[in-house]
Amino acid sequence: MTNLKHLKKIGVLTSGGDAPGMNAAIRAVVRTAIFRKLEAVGIYRGYEGLIQKQFTEMKTHSVSKIISRGGTILKSSRCLEFKEKAYREIAVNNMREEGIDALVVIGGDGSFRGADALYREFDFPVVGIPGTIDNDIYGTDYTIGFDTAVNTAMEAVDKLRDTADSHNLVFFVEVMGRDAGFIGLYTSIATGAEATLIPEVHTDINKLCAYLDHERRKNKTSGIIIVAEGDNMGNANEIAAKVSEKLPDYETRVTTLGHIQRGGSPTCNDRVLASILGNRAVEALLEGKSGVMVGQVNGQTTYTPFQEACTRHNEINKLWYEIAHILSL
């Protein structure tokens, strides 16, 4: 294996929305780096910490027992300053002063836009790991955190179903996904929801009401409607209000699952994915790869240029959307 001669110290940060499994990825990056006789430096609060030089030396024990913890021990942030080149220059100078010669960024597509700028403008070696519950990143079948988030949403909807059935209610359950319907679609299939409203499919209030009415006439006494937060008709409260207006006999309730979906102990799938990608990210840097996101497609490690990972989107399977509908009949 060819080792980059100057590669001695690797930095790692988490950026954007936190996701369960980020800690497992940090652990894998730190331990692989140490295994490869490199030093590892943790950067607090994402790009904010790069600008403010909030660095911490990471040893093997620094990442002990974090594999089962949600959130991120390095903390995360949304850092507007980083969108300006002048601040990115400060960040690069801070890393160079500290002797950090390569960086691993764990985050979503916004974080990769920042990482790409570091790579292009300053030729700084940087590799990304997809960490977001939204699963909307091109170049990987799954992002770290998605599996945990959908399991959390599924368990919550199962509980709501009990109350919906007991009181003959129609529940509108809002799940996360500002631009992507993965959480909505998976949760819907897994809970047998009566309808799925996601950003990728245009929703029509009249069609939705006609469908609900049809279901009621078939003696369905309760229902679950999953609403992704990015749906074209609005949020779950707004949609429930419109339905109540058109179908006044319906008793509706709204539950927004919100940030509950972002927390909690990661599932086995997320821990394994994060561990493998964390290891592969360090190996990629050692092989001289840069400006790419490591992902997993059909079980194989893939390297997708940031430009592609940022501009393209992971598409939902429209057939799965139809199946969700068929199975809820």
Binding site for ligand ADP (CB under 6 A): 15-17, 47, 78-79, 82-83, 107-111, 113-114, 117, 132
Q: How many CA atoms lie within 13 A of 201 on its CB side?
A: 24
CB of 114 to ligand ADP, least distance (A): 3
20 contributes a contact to ligand F6P by CB under 6 A? no
CB of 47 to ligand ADP, least distance (A): 4
> Within 10 A of 205 (CB to CB), how many other CB atoms are there?
14
Is residue 109 part of the annotated active site? The answer reads: no
Nearer to ligand ADP, 72 or 328 (CB): 72
Would you give the DSSP letter of residue 260?
G
133 contributes a contact to ligand F6P by CB under 6 A? yes
Q: Which of the ranges 39-47, 175-183, 202-210, 263-271 carries the binding residues for ligand F6P, by CB under 6 A? A: 175-183
Residue given tokens 């030093």 in the structure block: 39
Tell me whether residue 15 is exposed, middle or buried, using C-beta atoms within 10 angstroms of its C-beta: 0 to 12, 13 to 18, 19 or more: buried
Nearer to ligand F6P, 134 or 200 (CB): 134
- Give CA–CA dist 308/292, Å, rounded: 9
In the set 101, 109, 134, 231, the catalytic residue is 134
Would you say 58 and 12 are in contact if contact means Cβ atoms under 8 Å apart? yes
Residue 149, binding choice from ligand F6P, ligand ADP, none, Cβ under 5 to 8 Å by partner class: none
* Closest residue to ligand ADP in the complex (CB): 110
> Number of residues in contact with ligand F6P, rule: CB under 6 A?
10
Q: Is the dihedral of CA 136, 235, 76, 276 positive or negative?
A: negative
Q: What 3-state class would DSSP assign to 40?
A: strand
CB of 82 to ligand ADP, least distance (A): 4
**Each residue of 301-325: b (16+ CB within 10 Å) or e?**
bebbbbeebbeeebebeeeebeebb
In sequence order, the 6+-apart residues with CB closer than 8 A to the CB of 107 are 14, 15, 16, 46, 76, 128, 129, 131, 132
Q: Which of the ranges 170-178, 198-206, 237-245, 317-325 carries the binding residues for ligand F6P, by CB under 6 A? A: 170-178
Residue 79, binding choice from ligand ADP, ligand F6P, none, Cβ under 5 to 8 Å by partner class: ligand ADP
In sequence order, the 6+-apart residues with CB closer than 8 A to the CB of 93 are none
Q: Which of the ranges 94-102, 122-130, 176-184, 197-205 carries the binding residues for ligand F6P, by CB under 6 A? A: 176-184
- Give CA–CA dist 261/41, Å, rounded: 29
80 contributes a contact to ligand F6P by CB under 6 A? no
CB of 178 to ligand F6P, least distance (A): 4
Can you tell me which of 108, 114, 128, 131 binds ligand F6P, judged by CB under 6 A?
108
Nearer to ligand F6P, 143 or 275 (CB): 143
Nearest by Cα to 76 from 279, 312, 259: 259
**Binding footprint of ligand F6P on the chain (CB under 6 A):** 17, 108, 132-134, 176-178, 229, 262
Catalytic residues: 134
